[in-house]
Amino acid sequence: MAQVGATLRAARESRGLTLEDIEKATRIRRVLLEALENDAYDDLPSPVYTRGFIRNYAQLVGLDPEEMVAAYAAATGTPPASPTPEVLDEPLVQSPRGGALGGILWGIVIVLAIGIAGWYAYTRFYLGETPTLPSLPFLAPAASPEAGVTATPPSQAAVVTTPTDAVDPTAVDPTAVEPTEEPTATPPPTATLPPTQAVVIVTPTAVAGITVEARVTAATYVEVTADGERLLTTTLQAGAEEAWTGDEAVSLRVGNAGGISLTVNGVEVPPLGASGEVVTVEYTRDNLPEG
């Protein structure tokens, strides 16, 4: 195969393109393009960047990028970029003992989480009060009957007596006791439902800008301009997928209308034309397709 630089130059000249055209389309500086066409690899950056330059240049002039990169590797003796698998000296699987211990710890954590969640739900939705998480996960033991606390129904006031304060009923004159008001019965607490949360309906805002997505089924020349700035001038091969975005307008000039399909802001547009037909389309905020 001929030298890489000569092949790229011949393909460029056959399409009537200048180095300025290649520089604008690929964003590669002219001095680097000249070094590439002259096979002056010492004037180019590292092989990683040089391979990227060759791919962009070859795709723009209709050559196979991978064949050109392979020719460059053969000419310079640099191996192709391919990751070398790393061999691990230690196994990736944990020992059974460590795995069993980890499973037990996770089981304890899950049981505690389920218990806390159940307690929270019971307190919140059945007792009608907002629970306060306890500082310790243990409950204090219930008071024994010997403590002297007499349980009373909700309708009666609770009376607390101790053995030292007990009064002999025979030492009290019934007539000397002044009447007191009968305690008012305290109604039992009623469960309150949690407040109903208001449903907020979020109205989606309009998508800003214009996004054009392209899917190529046959090789075609494409020139893309967004908001007056040229974004791309190249030949896309079958299987390529591209996307361009503009604030006000996106226009495309296609050399093979039958080999490309477009989607604008997520809406698929009708076919642009027949195979081999040159078509120019422009999408603005005023003529966006409707889904």
List, in sequence order, every residue forming a beta bridge with 220; answer none if it has no partner. Answer: 236
Q: Is residue 273 part of a domain?
A: yes
Q: Which domain holds residue 37?
A: 4-76
**Scanning the structure block, which residue is given the tokens 């996307």?**
243
pLDDT at 145 (0 to 100):
42
CATH number at residue 8: 1.10.260.40
- Confirm if 55 and 65 have CB atoms less than 8 A apart: yes
| Positions of the chain with pLDDT lower than 50, given as ranges | 1, 83-96, 126, 134-180, 183, 199-200, 202-205
Q: Is residue 146 part of a domain?
A: no
HSE-CB at 217 with a 13 A cutoff on CA atoms is 11
pLDDT at 2 (0 to 100):
59
Give per-residue pLDDT as tens, 158-213: 343 444 444 343 434 434 444 445 545 555 555 555 555 554 453 444 557 899 99
pLDDT at 202 (0 to 100):
39
Q: Is residue 194 part of a domain?
A: no
Q: Is residue 145 part of a domain?
A: no
Q: Is residue 41 part of a domain?
A: yes
Query: Could you give the 3-state DSSP secondary structure of residue 197?
Result: coil
pLDDT at 279 (0 to 100):
93
Q: Is residue 244 part of a domain?
A: yes
Report if pTM > 0.75: no
Q: How many CB atoms lie within 10 A of CB 23?
A: 15
Sign (positive or negative) of CA dihedral 148, 153, 154, 158: negative
Residue at a domain's end among 76, 96, 113: 76
Residue at a domain's end among 76, 110, 137: 76
Helix (H) or strand (E) holding 101: helix 96-125
Strand order of the β-sheet with 210-216 is 241-246, 210-216, 260-264, 267-268
How many structural domains compose the chain?
Answer: 2
Query: Could you give the 3-state DSSP secondary structure of residue 67?
Result: helix
Q: Is residue 176 part of a domain?
A: no
Q: Is residue 28 part of a domain?
A: yes
pLDDT at 105 (0 to 100):
84
Give per-residue pLDDT as tens, 224-243: 999 999 998 999 999 999 99
Residue at a domain's end among 41, 76, 111: 76
Query: How many whole angstroms separate alpha carbon 233 and alpha carbon 26?
Result: 8
